[in-house]
Structure 1
Amino acid sequence: MRVDLAENEPNGTVVALGDQDATALAGVRLVDVQPSGVGRWRLVPVVNRVGAVRVGHLDVVVHPKASFASVLFMLGFARDPGFVPHEVSGSEADDLWSAVGETLARLADRALRRGVLQGYVTREESLAVLRGRMRVADQIATRPGMLLPLEVTFDEYEADIAENKILRAALHRASLVPRLPGGIRARLMHLAGRLDGVSPLVPGAPLPAWSPSRANQRYQPALRLAELVLRAIGLSTSAGGAPVAAFVVDMAVVFEDFVTTALRESLAVLSPLGQTKGQYRSWLDQNSLVRIKPDVVHMVRGAPWLVFDAKYKLGYQDGGYPTADVYQVHAYCTALGLGRGYLVYAGSRAHGAAPVVHRVRNTEIDVVQWPLDVAVVPAMLIRQISELATAALRGSL
């Protein structure tokens, strides 16, 4: 059985569900699971949470304002601005599991097309012959007075490197998620098979570190998504033994992180002499007792020049937004000595909303309510951020 819900849907829906499966579903925190009679439960989306969960034979999908492809893009871009729009599949069906699996398979196939990447791996072993360099301290500590075997350290050129470990683990995990079309699952398993011999990652351990370089350039798009898959997709079992698969994200965090990173990238091009800071820390009062922390502040010559605050909220029916957000940005402008601040909201342009300037009475301060349409394709998301950065710089002159 499949249940489809809209993001932040207030009433949810009622389903028949066993107690153990209900407990497992509640633990994922995609939906609130509320009793609604014997063996029946009301599922209400947790505020700003989107994604998909499968518990036993029940699939629950909470659809975001944006497409799942755009959500994947915002997640990837916030972590690494090198994650470009065309790297994310725009699945027609907009099914989360299919979008993840199809995109990872496509990027991994491109990464492995010229063969499996190899690199130098440092090994520490006990050998009968000297190879590399001897670890004298270890030799004395473990084999005092013995000549053989030797404790040595050497570099081996092989495929068992961080990049391949991450990619193999992500392909394997993505192949296990529910509701994947058979063709996509087969592609993922085939690609994972090409990395046989690469060491599996230790469950629960931090992902191995890798650094972008010319050598791994063809791997980088696949690695960005692979890391996202490993961090976001959870596979487990319920207390009753039912399989549980989950991909759940907090859209408020995703949106704010994406806006911060995208503004930083745009302003670096448009205002190269400036510096853009996320989660900028300052004080509201002269005694430095009341902390403020705007999402984005652009600095010029060491002084605040622009201030932005990102809010993933729905507007009211009359087209307005919570007034507390306007108060907040007004306070930021006052404390930072700025004449204009920007409230960046999600999901409004699709309904015809346009930027609105609010002049605060008896002041020279403008608060600009700037809606972004998150329902558009990823390339348009970046274009909208560029438009915002351009308008903000012009308004600050």
Structure 2
Amino acid sequence: MTVVHLTEHAPAVSVPLPDAAGRAVAASRILDTAAPDPYRTGHWTLRAGSKVGAVSLPVPGGDPVTVRITPKVPIARLFFLIGYSLDPRGWRDGDVEAGDHDELLPALAHAVERQVDRALRQGLLQGYTAVEESALVVRGRIREAEQIRRRFGAALPVEIAYDEFTTDIAENRILRAAVERLLRLPGVPQDVRRRLLHQRVRLADVTPLVRGQELPEWHATRLNSRYQHALQLAGVVLDGSSPGHVAGELRIDGFLFDMNKLFEDFVTVALREAFRGTDRTCRFQDPHHLDEAGGIRMKPDFVLYGPDGEPQAVADAKYKAEKSGGYPDDDLYQMLAYCTALHLREGHLIYAKGNAPHAAHRVRHAGIVLHQHALDLGRGPADLLGEIRSLARQMTAGGTV
């Protein structure tokens, strides 16, 4: 098996690859650049973008090729961003043990296995599930309409419905599906794989989910509190946009995070938490129109509304670092459009990292000020959330947050 190691947003590298493997990587569209190297025969020029993780790609007539993309953000910090986005009030740094792994997939598999082990340490959670079946004895209630439709007046068997107290519930099905998903992925260390196999044995009596089937719903309650962190991480593993997706006619088996989406989720959730307890309302991806006819749609990442229902602030998260020439001008034009349509005097662009923590631009003849803020994702969780709270105060122009 050919294994290609890349780093998120790193410069392009020339990698020795058979043509069939290179074409498979290009067809997957998981990299920003995947093309034959014009200067070196048998090499391909590859460059990773904002997707991180590991995938295994089938190669017609050859061995599969595995692409592993390492994030620039430390693994521990990445898990904090994920956890906070999922549950800002219940998840804190240190809740997830990533082990000594410096690649995303091994660390994620380790973290999921540890969380599942903690969840199942007191035994499998039980709950009530609705069962409908044909039986020779009456249990629960008789489904009279079904009895008449299917049995034509016969007394036996009886169509019944009842609630059964069992371990075959949504929470356990999700954990089993996540464990089995990780066992199929490339790059899971052998020691972690062995522990995952042990967890699968614990969940052997739970009905497996069919691939492509929607995940069963679960709701956080006092009874399943010991499961909640494991279920949240399992949901990340089973996210339909990441593993086992299809690009064109090529099936990809693996796991990918889009850092653009993760950064946007973290920033918008952290801003919402900064305004919690105030009389303001926060909306994500709020749909608006630039023109009066409603033909030009736009969806800012974050819009803050006052108690009167009028917009008070707008923000957009951009997972990109400032280059020597500054941030792209297109971002400023986009924010200017948001401010114009929402009738706001200020707009805020929030970047992953910059040369300075803050820059402001006053638009000529409009009086609109466009702010560019830079967050340092390498900082500790407390400092990072402190930056978000400070940014929230700037967004309200001296208001109380």
In the superposition, the TM-score normalised over structure 1's length comes to 0.87
Matches within 5 A, 1:331-342: 331-342=337-348
Give the one of 364, 374, 377 matched to 2:367. 364
CA distance in 2 between partners of 1:179 and 1:380 (Å): 33
CA distance in 1 between partners of 2:197 and 2:214 (Å): 24
Give the equivalent residue in structure 1 for 2:396.
393
Give the equivalent residue in structure 2 for 1:355.
358
Distance change (3 Å), C-alpha of 1:149 and 1:378: farther
- Gaps in structure 1 of 5+ consecutive residues: none
Query: Which deviates more, 42-51 or 223-232?
Result: 42-51
Q: Is the partner of 2:347 in helix, strand or coil? A: strand
Give, as a single letter, the amino acid of the residue that structure 2 aligns with 1:49.
K
Give the one of 259, 270, 281 matched to 1:262. 270
Give, as a single letter, the amino acid of the residue that structure 1 aligns with 2:30.
L
Give the equivalent residue in structure 2 for 1:283.
289
CA distance in 1 between partners of 2:245 and 2:284 (Å): 33
Give, as a single letter, the amino acid of the residue that structure 2 aligns with 1:29.
R
CA distance in 1 between partners of 2:357 and 2:46 (Å): 31
CA distance in 2 between partners of 1:247 and 1:377 (Å): 26
Give the equivalent residue in structure 2 for 1:251.
259
What do the CA deviations read for 1:339-380 (whole angstroms, capped 9, x no partner)?
Answer: 2211001133xxx52111222234432211101122345555
- Gaps in structure 2 of 5+ consecutive residues: 58-62
Give the equivalent residue in structure 1 for 2:203.
195
Please tell me whether the aligned partners of residues 280 and 305 of structure 2 are also in contact (alpha carbons under 8 angstroms). Answer: yes
Residue 227 of structure 1 pairs with residue 235 of structure 2: yes
CA distance in 1 between partners of 2:300 and 2:126 (Å): 44
Please tell me whether the aligned partners of residues 65 and 347 of structure 1 are also in contact (alpha carbons under 8 angstroms). Answer: no
What do the CA deviations read for 1:78-130 (whole angstroms, capped 9, x no partner)?
Answer: 44444443333355442112211111111111111211100001111111111
CA distance in 2 between partners of 1:234 and 1:87 (Å): 27
Matches within 5 A, 1:80-119: 80-81=87-88, 82-119=90-127
Distance change (3 Å), C-alpha of 1:173 and 1:282: closer
Q: Is the partner of 2:373 in helix, strand or coil? A: strand
Query: Which deviates more, 327-336 or 121-130?
Result: 327-336
CA distance in 1 between partners of 2:393 and 2:195 (Å): 43
Residue 297 of structure 1 pairs with residue 303 of structure 2: yes
Q: Is the partner of 1:298 in helix, strand or coil? A: strand
What do the CA deviations read for 1:235-271 (whole angstroms, capped 9, x no partner)?
Answer: 99xx99xx964212222222223222221222224xx
Distance apart, 1:72 and its partner CA: 4.3
Give the equivalent residue in structure 2 for 1:12.
13
The structure, 1 or 2, with the larger RCO (C-alpha pairs under 8 Å, 6+ apart) is 1
CA distance in 1 between partners of 2:218 and 2:133 (Å): 23
Q: Percent identity?
A: 40
Q: Is the partner of 2:212 in helix, strand or coil? A: coil
Distance change (3 Å), C-alpha of 1:51 and 1:379: farther
Distance apart, 1:337 and its partner CA: 2.5
Residue 327 of structure 1 pairs with residue 333 of structure 2: yes
Give the equivalent residue in structure 1 for 2:60.
none
Give the equivalent residue in structure 2 for 1:48.
50
Give the equivalent residue in structure 2 for 1:375.
378
Q: Is the partner of 1:193 in helix, strand or coil? A: helix
In the superposition, the TM-score normalised over structure 2's length comes to 0.86
Distance apart, 1:77 and its partner CA: 4.0
- Root-mean-square deviation (CA, aligned residues, Å) is 2.8
Q: Is the partner of 2:229 in helix, strand or coil? A: helix
Give the equivalent residue in structure 2 for 1:30.
30
Give the one of 327, 352, 356 matched to 1:346. 352
Distance change (3 Å), C-alpha of 1:28 and 1:218: farther
Please tell me whether the aligned partners of residues 83 and 224 of structure 1 are also in contact (alpha carbons under 8 angstroms). Answer: no
CA distance in 1 between partners of 2:398 and 2:15 (Å): 50
Give, as a single letter, the amino acid of the residue that structure 2 aligns with 1:216.
N
What do the CA deviations read for 1:40-74 (whole angstroms, capped 9, x no partner)?
Answer: 34142353222222445644222233234444443
Q: Is the partner of 2:281 in helix, strand or coil? A: strand
Give the one of 210, 225, 230 matched to 1:217. 225
Give the equivalent residue in structure 1 for 2:168.
160
